[in-house]
Structures are given as C-alpha cells and as structure tokens.
C-alpha cells in the first residue's frame, strides 16, 4: 500500500472521504503534513493548497466554519478572501525544521541529547542519558487601588529588559453594593464605547428611548445580558439592560445561524443587538461583539526566544520531577543536539502562568496526594529549581488558584511570608493575575505586550458554552481564549470567577491589545492565533490527580511552547 492510499484509508477509518486525485501528485512532505494535522476534518483542493504553499499555524475548525458559511451564502469570493486573510495573519513554522505530530498546529518536538539528531526527529531523552549532576541538582531540593504602570526593570545580570505595563494593587476596604455597581458600570461604559465605533452600531438608541419608537422599526441597542431563557418552543428569550432600562430580545430558531450564535451568549457580557422592534421586545437580526481588530503580526529585530510554562504544582506527589529536570538540563544547555542547545542559549524570556506549587487544601482529598504538605516548603523547593535557570533569562511569574494568594481576581502578586525565595532571585519579575508585561523592547523596536492570565474562569465557559463544550472542551483552550477576546473580557460572567471589587474600573477588561495571550490552568498545551494575537495555553508538570479523573480531565504534561521572536515561528518541546 503506497503512502497516499494509507492516508485515504486512515481518514476513511475516521469517517472522512478523500478524493484520490488530490493525492496523486503528493510528495512525502505533503503527506507528512496531512498526517500530522489531527484537526484536519475535510481534505479538499483548497486545504491541500494551504498545506503546500506554506506551513501555517492553521486552526482548521475556523477554516471549516468559513467554508460552511460560504457554501450557505454561495459566495466564493468571500471564501477566497477568508483563505487569503487566514494565510496573511497566522504565524508560520519554519519548513526547514521539518514537520512533527501536532495538536491543533503545535509542533511537538522531543529533546534529544545526541548531536546527530535535529528538531525534525522524535527521540526521547532517557533518564540515564542525564549525568548524575543533572539529575540531582534540580532535586536538592488605603486609598483607591492602583494599576501599576512601571518603567523597565534594571537587571545587572542581563541586558534583557522586562517592563511591567499593568499589574494591580489590591487595597481592601469595607465593601458596599456601590463597589459592584461601579465595577459593572465601568465595564459597560468601556465596551459600549467600543461597540459604538462599530459600523453596525452607528444608530444606537438607549433602551429608555426605544419606548417612543414605532413597532417594526429596525433598531440597535447595546446592553448587558441579564437573563437567558428558553421558550416552550425552543427559542431563546433574553433580557438585556443598560443604565436607562431593560428590554426583551427574541432569537428564533428559524434563523439557525443567528440562533447558534445566541446559544453562546453568557450572563453579564455586553453586546450590541439589532433587529425589529415589537411591543417592548426586539426580534433579533444580528449580534455585535466588542471583539478585536485584526492586528499586524509583530516581529522583533533580534533573534530571541520566549518560552511558556504553567502549572508546575511542586509539592504534589504527582509532580513530574524527572521531566522537569530534563527541561532544566536543556535550558542550561546540557542536553540536546547542537541546534537545540543553540536555541536554549537564545531563550531570553520565560513566562510562568501560575500554579507554581500544589498548595494545601485546594480540592477534596488533596492531602493524600501531597509530597510536601507545608506551603512555605513547597515554595522553597520551587525556588531551588528555578534558580538553576541561567541568569541571562528573564522569568516573569503570575499566580494561579493553587498559589498562596487570595482567589479573587485580580490576584495579588506573591507574599514574602510564604515565598521569600522568589523575591531574592535577580532575574524574576513577579506580577498579578492578570497582568501585562512588555518584553524584547529595543531602541528600534517597541517590544511585545504579553497578557498573562492563569485561566481560573475557563472552567465556567467549558461547562456553559455549547460551542466550546461540544468541540473539544478542555482540549480546546484556543476556543476559550478566542471567546474571551471576542468579548474583550477575561471573565465576562460575574460568577465565572471570584472578583476583587475594590477597583474603580473592571480590571479584567482587555483594554490593551496584546501580542501574546498566555494562560494555563487546564493542564493541556495549545497554541493558536486570533487576529494576529498568538494564543498560548501552557502545559503542566503534574500527573492526573484523582480530582481531575473524577471531572474527566486528561492532562498533557511536560510540553513547553517556544516562540522565535524574530520570525514568530512556534514549536512545542516535549520532555516526556
């Protein structure tokens, strides 16, 4: 059986048919690309052309949706425009490095210690290949709250700079209802302003003024979703509100495309709606989200790398010590082939998106799965590992829900009482969750804005948003992150995460458009692109816990996404 026939048979076994003519002139490189694209559901001529012309970071789910939408509207010009736009706005992989097994479009590469092997090989690092030194060293183990706008940090160990753009200061006081009102009003005002600048919202009326309009007129309103109900006939009835009043919105299942969009609406998000006015009700014809503009993919003028970690969970007896040792050995340049060691040397930034330790009392029966049951000792051991990272690499860390900070967001940075060692490391920058930092800035380049958010709200949207739940759930962090960016908010539903209500403006708004959006929490590595923003969900360094098993979680540990800041090429290094 030749390779193309094998591809056809494999896809047939998955429930898909492929025209053999598409593969008759296929070379081995193309066949390798097709086989490694796990999310490629349909193989047509357009998709083959995408694969042939460049090695893009392709979200095939999005491309499939464009194709379905265009087929409904019979508009081939629109489809081709989508294809072209998709190619222009996605970071690419360097084809000279070969193609490997992918999740979405992640290039997963296992580190090899032999010099003969390069990134286009998949050889594991056996534990015995590490020297005894490598194996043991990492185991020796008042007034208004402020947004910190910090200047670049001086660092005597490295010429690299990290600038804190946004990090929050939580100053508690006695909370009143007005604190929550202020939070929601600030959210509404910011998102309303964004929506009013959309062409679809040029003739917006307040809900209070709608009462004087005649029925059957086409109207547009901007409101916060207060209620979501399903009628007896299966249609959707919403209530939205603005500062002037409330009105019902009706979505008919007779308009399946709009109805499908409405099914993804969640409580408290701010949207624009246009439709026909009835008696104190609007029959919806369109939904407008705040969303992001399409951004140019920014590239540095220097060849540097940034890598992303999250969910280390040190202190758990399921912590993957051997795998983390392999990572440390690689970042120190002690393992890997010549190319891999060169890349390790060029890594200048390491972002850790929360859950440094496993914590204490986080979930039922956790005590049975702890190797270190004292929080300060967990942080001490974490610092013993992290200080092995060379000082020329800047480390940026935000907390997560397992860390020893309050759960309400924005989470404060770390506390010296529990983690004094973190404050002694000269190449570590500590920020809140969420936060924005700028890296890679030079005299001729503005640098990259990196939005860090651990992702505690993700659980809510996996459970409550049908399109996320039915299209991969916890394995599709990219869907969750796109969902939030589209709404310009990291937790649009108030009950999706605990809030710290003492800020004059909602701190979870996405006001500054980042170049990278980095998260963790769900223990499954994922990379995607949304309108020129690179979305990175970090992996984890912990095996499956009993709690995760009950919830049906399937972690994918010991993966490290790495980005070349000069080319924006992306790989995922695998240490397991």
Helix (H, G, I), strand (E, B) or coil at 210: helix
Distance CA 260, CA 466 (A): 9
Q: Do 304 and 273 belong together in one domain?
A: no
- CATH number for 569: 3.60.21.50
Q: Do 318 and 276 belong together in one domain?
A: no
pLDDT band at 418 (very low <50, low <70, confident <90, very high): very high
Give the pLDDT score at 153: 37
Q: Do 275 and 404 belong together in one domain?
A: no
Q: Do 450 and 377 belong together in one domain?
A: yes
Reference 428, options 170, 166, 158; nearest CA is: 158
For residue 74, is it within any domain? yes
Full strand arrangement of the beta sheet holding 347-353 = 108-110, 570-574, 559-564, 305-309, 347-353, 394-398, 428-430
Q: Which of the listed residues 38, 65, 88 is the one where a domain comes to its end?
A: 88
Paired residues of 347 in beta bridges: 305
Structural domain harbouring 235: 198-288
Give the list of residues 6+ apart from residue 298 with CB closer than 8 angstroms, or none.
446, 448, 515, 532, 568
For residue 94, is it within any domain? no
For residue 100, is it within any domain? no
Highest mean pLDDT among 70-74, 88-92, 145-149: 70-74
Distance CA 327, CA 297 (A): 29
Give the pLDDT score at 553: 78
Give the pLDDT score at 385: 97
Q: Do 414 and 504 belong together in one domain?
A: yes
Q: Give the dihedral of Cα atoms 70, 74, 77, 79; nearest 10 deg.
A: 20
Q: Do 282 and 298 belong together in one domain?
A: no
**DSSP state, 489?**
B
Q: Do 164 and 227 belong together in one domain?
A: no
* Residue 313 contacts residue 357 (beta carbons within 8 Å): yes
Q: Give the dihedral of Cα atoms 27, 29, 32, 34; nearest 10 deg.
A: -70
11-54 pLDDT tens trace: 666 555 666 666 666 666 666 666 555 556 666 777 777 766 65
Share of the chain above pLDDT 70, in %: 74
Q: Do 23 and 151 belong together in one domain?
A: no
Lowest mean pLDDT, pick from 233-237, 465-469, 501-505: 501-505
279-305 pLDDT tens trace: 889 999 999 999 999 998 999 999 999
Q: Is the N-terminal amide bond of 376 cis, ω within 30° of 0?
A: no
Lowest mean pLDDT, pick from 151-160, 335-344, 546-555: 151-160
Give the pLDDT score at 149: 41
What are the counts of helices (DSSP H) followed by strands (DSSP E) for the chain?
16, 19
For residue 311, is it within any domain? yes
Give 218 or 64, the one with higher predicted confidence. Answer: 218
* Residue 525 contacts residue 574 (beta carbons within 8 Å): no
36-47 pLDDT tens trace: 555 566 667 777
Residue whose entry in the numeric block shows the structure tokens 């003519």? 21
Reference 258, options 276, 273, 240; nearest CA is: 273
pLDDT band at 381 (very low <50, low <70, confident <90, very high): very high
Question: E strands of 343-424, at which residues?
Answer: 347-353, 394-398
Q: Do 346 and 395 belong together in one domain?
A: yes
Residue 546 has pLDDT above 50, yes or no: yes
Give the pLDDT score at 46: 73
Full strand arrangement of the beta sheet holding 533-537 = 146-148, 162-169, 435-439, 448-452, 516-519, 533-537, 526-530
Q: Which pairing describes strands 245-251 and 236-242: parallel, antiparallel, or unpaired?
A: antiparallel
For residue 480, is it within any domain? yes
| pTM (global) more than 0.85 | no
pLDDT band at 123 (very low <50, low <70, confident <90, very high): very low
Q: Do 246 and 393 belong together in one domain?
A: no
Q: Do 447 and 492 belong together in one domain?
A: yes
Distance CA 187, CA 184 (A): 5
Q: Do 257 and 317 belong together in one domain?
A: no
Reference 323, options 41, 35, 556, 4; nearest CA is: 556
Helix (H, G, I), strand (E, B) or coil at 133: helix
Q: Which of the listed residues 288, 310, 337 is the one where a domain comes to its end?
A: 288
Q: Which pairing describes strands 533-537 and 526-530: parallel, antiparallel, or unpaired?
A: antiparallel
For residue 430, is it within any domain? yes
Paired residues of 277 in beta bridges: 282
Paired residues of 395 in beta bridges: 350, 428
458-481 pLDDT tens trace: 999 999 999 999 999 999 999 999
For residue 498, is it within any domain? yes
Q: Which of the listed residues 232, 263, 288 is the one where a domain comes to its end?
A: 288
Please count the structural domains in the chain. 3
Give the list of residues 6+ apart from residue 457 with CB closer than 8 angstroms, or none.
409, 484, 490, 491, 493, 496, 497
Most distant CA pair in the chain: distance in Å?
Answer: 81
- CATH number for 230: 2.40.50.140
- The H-assigned helical ranges of 138-206 are 177-196
For residue 114, is it within any domain? no
Residue 129 has pLDDT above 50, yes or no: no
CB atoms within 10 A of CB 403: 29
């Amino acid at each position: 059986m030749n390779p193309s026939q094998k591809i056809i048979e494999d896809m047939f076994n998955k429930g898909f048919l492929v025209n053999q003519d598409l593969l008759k002139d296929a070379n081995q490189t193309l066949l390798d690309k097709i086989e490694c694209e796990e999310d490629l559901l349909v193989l047509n001529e357009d998709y083959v052309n995408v694969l042939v012309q460049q090695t893009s970071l392709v979200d095939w789910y999005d491309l499939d949706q464009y194709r379905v939408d265009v087929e409904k509207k019979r508009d081939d010009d629109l489809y081709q425009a989508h294809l072209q736009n998709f190619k222009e706005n996605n970071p690419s992989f360097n084809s000279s490095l070969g193609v490997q097994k992918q999740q979405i479009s992640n290039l997963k590469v296992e580190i090899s210690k032999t010099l003969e092997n390069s990134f286009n090989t998949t050889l594991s690092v056996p534990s015995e290949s590490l020297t005894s030194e490598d194996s043991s060293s990492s185991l020796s183990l008042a007034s208004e709250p402020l947004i910190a706008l910090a200047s670049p940090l001086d660092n005597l160990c490295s010429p690299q700079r990290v600038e804190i753009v946004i990090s929050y200061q939580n100053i508690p006081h006695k909370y009143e209802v007005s604190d929550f009102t202020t939070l929601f009003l600030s959210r509404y005002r910011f998102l309303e302003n964004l929506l009013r600048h959309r062409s679809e919202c040029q003739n917006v009326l307040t809900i209070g003024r709608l009462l004087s309009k005649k029925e059957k007129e086409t109207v547009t309103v901007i409101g916060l979703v207060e209620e979501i109900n399903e009628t007896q006939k299966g249609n959707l009835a919403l209530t939205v509100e603005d500062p002037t009043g409330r009105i019902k919105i009706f979505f008919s299942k007779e308009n399946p495309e709009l109805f499908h969009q409405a099914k993804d609406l969640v409580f408290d998000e701010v949207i624009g709606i246009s439709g026909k006015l009835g008696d104190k009700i609007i029959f919806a014809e369109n939904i407008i989200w705040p969303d992001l503009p399409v951004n140019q993919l920014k590239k540095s003028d220097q060849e540097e790398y940034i890598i992303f970690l999250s969910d280390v969970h040190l202190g758990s007896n399921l912590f993957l010590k051997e795998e983390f040792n392999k990572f440390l050995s690689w970042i120190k340049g002690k393992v890997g082939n010549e190319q891999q060691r060169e890349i390790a040397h060029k890594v200048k930034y390491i972002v850790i998106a929360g859950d440094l330790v496993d914590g204490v009392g986080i979930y039922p029966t956790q005590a049975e799965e702890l190797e270190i049951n004292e929080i300060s000792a967990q942080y001490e051991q974490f610092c013993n590992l992290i200080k092995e990272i060379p000082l020329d690499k800047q480390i940026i860390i935000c907390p997560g829900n397992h860390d020893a900070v309050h759960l309400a967001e924005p989470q404060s940075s770390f506390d010296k009482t529990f983690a004094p060692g973190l404050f002694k490391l000269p190449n570590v920058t500590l920020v809140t969750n969420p936060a924005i930092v700028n890296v890679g800035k030079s005299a001729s380049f503005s640098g990259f804005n990196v939005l860090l958010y651990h992702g505690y709200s993700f659980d809510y949207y996996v459970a409550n948003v049908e399109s996320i739940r039915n299209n991969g759930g916890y394995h599709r962090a990219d869907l969750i992150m796109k969902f939030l960016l589209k709404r310009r908010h990291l937790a649009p539903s108030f009950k999706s995460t605990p809030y710290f209500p003492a800020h004059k403006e909602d701190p979870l708004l996405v006001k500054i458009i980042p170049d990278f959006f980095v998260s963790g929490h769900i223990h499954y590595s994922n990379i995607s692109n949304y309108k020129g923003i690179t979305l990175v969900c970090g992996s984890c360094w912990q095996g499956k816990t009993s709690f995760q098993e009950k919830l049906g979680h399937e972690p994918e540990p010991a993966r490290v996404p790495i980005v070349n800041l000069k080319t924006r090429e992306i790989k995922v290094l695998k240490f397991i």
